[in-house]
């Protein structure tokens, strides 16, 4: 145990917050440097504000269907200003929680742009020496070459959270997680959405069956989807933009959201001069223990590449300082990392999906249970979706799951626990689940895979 070691954490997002707090628990003298607001992208520009807005959109969808539930509701309208203010209140409350935790643990918080200089991080005129430096500088939204990213009609995922009014129409360039979440949100608010994706399907990383089903549901909500297409902006106007696709189609909209990924902020802050390797995507190169090539410098979170998920970043932050301060080196295991997409309906995955399992050489057997067979899902008016488990036919082991539908992001974790514990699909199916719940679809899918589901086999 390195009691009293000086730990400097560069970045105050989900990775940095946890790294700093865990280092303080281990007895280190901790300084956390953040150039903007504590909580990073997730709390201020990503997970938290978008989920607050999506909660409003989901409620709006339900209220519009109130007559199905036997309720008479007057015509509903959206107070967008109040909706955005609620989002800000939630962000401020969460940010206050981070600040309070840092204060309780004795973490010194420094506001400002940090640059690594030898054995210290420099902010302004002050030097903050370290025995261990944890780099977690995160990412920023990527622009697109040839696009005027300063034009008021062209938005990044940060800009869209500053909108003062609901756009009548919006083009979303990029059909990944961010693009689909915002498409889901604004479609519910009445915006005419067009998604343009260069790949042949939406949501790369999710299996083909699920993305196909999800696209149909998006289109049912009025979203237009163009796959395998490039888009060039051909006109900028005071009231919007026009794009031309490579098949000749022209589309005009009031706003254009560029959601083509995020870029690391690790290059050019002094790391390279200390022997830290930065790859061609500006990601910090680390080993399985989260060490860089400089033994005093560790890196975690989005700036090292891979899955850009707040919960993974937090886990990496904790693991890095434990390895640095305890001397007990434990590799970072990313076998079981749930990934959640907060569209309507929700999509959640863990482990291998069906396509990836087949590509990895497994003899795959799927277990499936559709939400239309769940009394709880029907009662909530959300019959769309399914739970799909991936089983290794030879061993019967559970390899992964994809769940699409209501409460999917809450349901996925029991599958993660089952994979971590090495359960077979049959063993998962033997665990009694409460009825009626949507979660029992996991049990039903497991039983269906092994041929013992009373209703499905």
Q: Which position among 132, 407, 433, 435 bears the catalytic label?
A: 435
Residue with tokens 């969808």: 61
Q: Which residues pair with 194 in a beta bridge?
A: 171, 224
Distance from C-alpha of 159 to C-alpha of 14, rounded to nearest angstrom: 21
Antiparallel, parallel or unpaired: β 386-392 and 398-404: antiparallel
Distance between alpha carbon 270 and the CA centroid of its chain, in Å? 29
Q: Is 435 designated active site? A: yes
Backbone angles phi, psi at 313, to 5 degrees: -60, -45
Give the count of alpha carbons within 13 A of 126, CB side only.
9
- Catalytic residue numbers read 435
């Amino acid at each position: 145990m390195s009691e009293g070691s000086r730990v400097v954490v560069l970045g105050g997002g989900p990775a940095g917050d946890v790294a700093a707090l865990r280092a303080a628990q281990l007895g280190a003298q901790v300084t956390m440097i953040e150039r903007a607001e504590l909580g990073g992208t997730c709390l201020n520009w990503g997970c938290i504000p978008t989920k607050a807005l999506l909660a409003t959109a989901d409620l709006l969808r339900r209220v519009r269907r109130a007559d199905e539930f036997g309720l008479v509701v007057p015509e509903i309208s959206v107070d967008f200003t109040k909706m955005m203010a609620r989002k800000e209140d939630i962000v401020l409350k969460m940010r206050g929680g981070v600040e309070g935790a840092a204060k309780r643990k004795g973490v010194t918080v420094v506001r400002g742009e940090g640059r690594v200089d030898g054995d210290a991080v420099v902010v302004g005129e002050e030097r903050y020496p370290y025995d261990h430096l944890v780099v977690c500088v995160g990412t920023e939204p990527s622009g697109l070459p040839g696009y005027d990213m300063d034009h008021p009609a062209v938005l990044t995922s940060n800009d869209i959270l500053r909108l003062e009014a609901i756009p009548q129409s919006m083009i979303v360039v990029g059909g990944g997680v961010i693009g689909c979440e915002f498409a889901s949100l604004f479609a519910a608010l009445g915006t005419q959405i067009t998604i343009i994706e260069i790949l042949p399907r939406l949501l790369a990383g999710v299996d083909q069956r699920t993305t196909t089903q999800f696209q149909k549901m998006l289109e049912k909500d009025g979203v237009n989807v163009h796959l395998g297409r490039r888009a060039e902006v051909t006109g900028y106007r005071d009231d919007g933009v026009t794009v031309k696709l490579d098949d000749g189609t022209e589309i005009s909209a009031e706003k254009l959201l560029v959601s083509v990924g995020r870029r690391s902020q690790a290059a050019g802050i002094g790391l390279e001069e200390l022997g830290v390797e930065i790859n061609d995507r500006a990601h910090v190169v680390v080993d399985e223990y989260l060490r860089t090539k400089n033994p005093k410098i560790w890196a975690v979170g989005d700036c090292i590449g891979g899955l850009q998920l707040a919960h993974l970043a937090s886990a990496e932050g904790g693991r890095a300082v434990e390895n640095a301060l305890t001397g007990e080196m434990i590799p970072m295991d990313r076998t079981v990392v749930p990934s959640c997409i907060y569209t309507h309906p929700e999509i959640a995955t863990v482990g291998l999906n069906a396509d990836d399992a087949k590509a990895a050489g497994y003899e795959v057997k799927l277990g499936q249970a559709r939400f239309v067979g769940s009394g709880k899902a029907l009662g909530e008016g959300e019959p769309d979706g399914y739970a799909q488990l991936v089983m290794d036919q030879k061993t019967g082991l559970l390899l992964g799951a994809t769940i699409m539908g209501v409460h999917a992001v809450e349901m996925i974790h029991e599958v993660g626990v089952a994979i971590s514990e090495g359960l077979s699909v049959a063993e998962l199916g033997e665990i009694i689940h409460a009825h009626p719940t949507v979660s029992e679809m996991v049990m039903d899918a497991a039983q269906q895979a092994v041929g013992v589901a009373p209703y499905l086999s």
